[in-house]
Structure 1
Amino acid sequence: MRAVQYLDGTFTLADAPELPALGPKQLRIEVAACGICGSDLTVSKDPCRFVQVVEGANYPLAQFDAQRPIVLGHEFAGIVAEAGAEVSDFAVGDRVTGLGIVTDTSTGIPKIIGYSNEYHGAFGEYIVVDSSWARHVPEGLSLEHAALAEPLHVGELHMQRSGLTSADSALVIGCGTIGLGAIIAAKARGTQTIIASEPSPKRRELALKMGADHVVDPNEQDPIELYNSLVAEGKTGDGILIAYECSGRAGIINKLLHELPYDSRIQVLAAPFADETIIPVVGQLRRIAINFGHGPTERGYEIVLQRLADGEIDADAIITGRVGLDGVADAFTALRNPDEHVKILVLPRGKADS
């Protein structure tokens, strides 16, 4: 199987070891498209720190040996090449997408594909996933567009968990794919005031396209000051401000604790892997809640997949680049400059079915 292996800071296109034998409730999928995720960028910057953090968190889904090769990529869409003996709702040839989670048949422990030395990610020709996490791609939706459902649904899930109502206001910090997903989800809830804060002009433009009411370059205008001015002018709802931290930049949470209006909330969608310093009593004094992802959700992935199928999301605007397996290394380099790209898709076969 041809795949792009990552080890010691280098991406190498090689013949990777075969995937483990298919379990009875699993699918082998021929990959058509896979997005490069922010977590993939984090691993490529410092895999040892990534492993240290996930092991310290006792999070087995993303634990791997950083001294051995891995094949990254979990935002997939493709075609079923083989179905396990107990799979009844998928057949060979079906177009599928979903969450890249697979139960290791040797240990019974679930893993995220790509963050495993054995279960390769989708920067290769084939993956194995549990069928329970797979979804049929709706008729008329391209596989490229279907691959966007995974990152965009993170915004939907966190919007549900934050308890946002139409009376509240949303401040989205960072307008990569996850931030754009948060904007889409906030707009769908009828939120009247959505402020997007993003230094990249390209991403600010996309934030407006996805439904933001106001966009600011934080290097030139303070988004919280903008919100306060809108409140003073009576241009917001009667609810609270919820800040959706989607940038993962160091220091943002501490800044928000000190500067958000009293009784605001912080919903953390992206966070740095480095140590952070906050003063907890500031949150108490200002009555600010921080939510790292707790709360009920319902059909977040399916909701976003249907929005894509219905044409409610301009998927082509979000996809800013496409590469084959031989272009993965250059794509990672390009994504470190957010002025040029939002989402780059890896197409292992050189193209994806429409």
Structure 2
Amino acid sequence: MRAVQYADGEFTPAEVAEPPALGPGQLRIAVHACGICGSDLSMSKDPCRFVHVAEAGGYPLATFDTERPVVLGHEYAGLVTEIGTGVTDFAVGDRVAGIGLATDTSTGIPTIIGYSNEYHGAFGESIVVDAYWVRQVPAGLSLEHATLAEPLHVGEMHVQQSGLTAADSALVIGCGTIGLGAILAAKAKGARVVIASEPSPKRRELAALMGADIVVDPAAQDPIALWNSLVAEGNTLVGDAAAGVLIAYECSGRAGVLNSLMHEMPFNSRIQVLAAPFADETIIPVVGQFRRIAINFGHGPYENAYDITLDRLARGIVDAEAIITGRVGLDGVADAFATLRDPKEHVKILVLPNQE
């Protein structure tokens, strides 16, 4: 099949082997579209570091041989072409999207498609995934727009895990797709105030479109200082929100942000980490104790985050087309990655394997 291989720091269109034969409970899907994820950018910057951190952290879902090529991409949507034994909820031809996990039939260990030398990602014509994580795309929702359910659902999942209530307010740092998902989820939960902090003008525009009450450029205005001033002056926008908790949703993955938040967030506040760097990070743990700040990297219950997000897309609550800022065929993947490293004008670029 035709796909884009990543090896030795380069993306190259090539003919590659089909994904493995289906195991029980699996589907083969012809890919229509796949989004470029922030974790794909991180991996392509330093694959050895990416795999080392995954292995050292005991995370087998993202480990592979960096000396061999991989086909990235896990934010997929497409058509079912083959059904494994035990699968009863799907038929050939179904329009589907989902979370890109596949259980390796040789080891029984799950892997994220794209972070495997055998289970290719969706920057190619075909993928194999576990049916458990796949959903029917609702009628009326395009397959391209359905790809956004995967990154946006991360925001929904973490907002649920953070325990945000209608008494609380949210500070979303970084307004890529995950941050936009956090804004949507926080507003849906009834957060008193949602502040979005983002250096990119394009992404600030989208943060406002997704419902953020206040959008700031952190180079021009400190969002935490702004929050403190709103509370101090009894601003009508804040109202009695100061009685609740300010929860920071770190979605930027930038080095140093976690340490800065620990020093600057109000006493008794919380930090929810949605995106994190792969490099070593220096924090001073006692500062968190001094300020009584809780940090959550993704612990806690959540329910139906993907389904909730897919439904929002289907009902038109999310302006999906505004989030998709580019589309490329396989020959354009290398340039798309280069563009996203300085994302002034882009948020989500889709790879369309059948586009010329």
Fold match by TM threshold 0.5: yes
Tell me by how many angstroms 1:86 deviates: 1.8
Determine the C-alpha separation between the residues in 2 that align with 1:248 and 1:131.
30
Tell me by how many angstroms 1:18 deviates: 2.0
Deviates more, 1:265-274 or 1:235-244: 235-244
Tell me by how many angstroms 1:192 deviates: 2.0
Query: Which residue number corresponds to residue 281 of structure 1?
Result: 286
> What SS is found at the alignment partner of 2:70?
coil
Determine the C-alpha separation between the residues in 2 that align with 1:43 and 1:25.
29
> What SS is found at the alignment partner of 1:295?
coil
Determine the C-alpha separation between the residues in 1 that align with 2:205 and 2:2.
37
Query: Which residue number corresponds to residue 339 of structure 2?
Result: 334
Which of residues 318, 323, 337 in structure 2 aligns to 1:318?
Answer: 323
Render the CA deviation track for 1:47-94: whole Å, top value 9, x for unaligned: 000000000001001110111000000000000011113211101000
> What SS is found at the alignment partner of 2:277?
coil
> What SS is found at the alignment partner of 1:184?
helix
Gaps of 5+ in 1: none
Query: Which residue number corresponds to residue 172 of structure 1?
Result: 172
Query: Which residue number corresponds to residue 251 of structure 1?
Result: 256
Determine the C-alpha separation between the residues in 2 that align with 1:170 and 1:332.
30
Whether 1:155 and 2:160 are equivalent positions in the alignment is: no
Query: Which residue number corresponds to residue 208 of structure 2?
Result: 208
Determine the C-alpha separation between the residues in 2 that align with 1:264 and 1:287.
7
Determine the C-alpha separation between the residues in 2 that align with 1:276 and 1:3.
35
Determine the C-alpha separation between the residues in 2 that align with 1:18 and 1:346.
18
- Asked if the contact 2:18–2:126 (Cα under 8 Å) also holds between the matched residues in 1, the reply is no
Query: Which residue number corresponds to residue 28 of structure 2?
Result: 28
Which of residues 267, 270, 275 in structure 2 aligns to 1:265?
Answer: 270
TM-score by length of 2: 0.98
Render the CA deviation track for 1:6-54: whole Å, top value 9, x for unaligned: 0010001001122111112110000000000000000110000000000
Determine the C-alpha separation between the residues in 2 that align with 1:47 and 1:288.
33
> What SS is found at the alignment partner of 1:12?
strand
Tell me by how many angstroms 1:230 deviates: 1.3
Query: Which residue number corresponds to residue 64 of structure 2?
Result: 64
- Asked if the contact 2:155–2:185 (Cα under 8 Å) also holds between the matched residues in 1, the reply is yes
How many residue pairs match? The answer is: 351
> What SS is found at the alignment partner of 2:41?
helix
Gaps of 5+ in 2: none
Tell me by how many angstroms 1:191 deviates: 1.0
Query: Which residue number corresponds to residue 73 of structure 2?
Result: 73
In angstroms, what is the RMSD of aligned CA positions?
A: 0.8
Determine the C-alpha separation between the residues in 2 that align with 1:79 and 1:350.
16
Query: Which residue number corresponds to residue 219 of structure 2?
Result: 219
Could you tell me which amino acid in structure 1 is paired with residue 155 of structure 2? G
Query: Which residue number corresponds to residue 347 of structure 1?
Result: 352
Give 1:29-108 correspondences, 5 Å limit.
29-108=29-108
> What SS is found at the alignment partner of 2:295?
strand
Render the CA deviation track for 1:157-211: whole Å, top value 9, x for unaligned: 0000000011111000000000000000001111121100000011001000001
Tell me by how many angstroms 1:102 deviates: 0.5
> What SS is found at the alignment partner of 1:226?
helix
Determine the C-alpha separation between the residues in 2 that align with 1:87 and 1:169.
42
- Asked if the contact 2:155–2:274 (Cα under 8 Å) also holds between the matched residues in 1, the reply is yes
> What SS is found at the alignment partner of 2:225?
helix
Query: Which residue number corresponds to residue 245 of structure 2?
Result: 240
Tell me by how many angstroms 1:302 deviates: 0.2
Once the two structures are aligned, what percentage of the paired residues are identical? 75
Query: Which residue number corresponds to residue 308 of structure 1?
Result: 313
Whether 1:196 and 2:196 are equivalent positions in the alignment is: yes
Determine the C-alpha separation between the residues in 1 that align with 2:354 and 2:3.
11
Determine the C-alpha separation between the residues in 1 that align with 2:173 and 2:282.
19
Determine the C-alpha separation between the residues in 2 that align with 1:33 and 1:231.
45
Tell me by how many angstroms 1:98 deviates: 0.6
Tell me by how many angstroms 1:226 deviates: 0.6
The ranges of structure 1 where at least 4 consecutive aligned residues each deviate by more than 4 angstroms after the TM superposition are: none
Render the CA deviation track for 1:102-138: whole Å, top value 9, x for unaligned: 0000110001000000000000000000111100001
Determine the C-alpha separation between the residues in 2 that align with 1:268 and 1:300.
17
> What SS is found at the alignment partner of 2:349?
strand
Determine the C-alpha separation between the residues in 2 that align with 1:291 and 1:276.
16
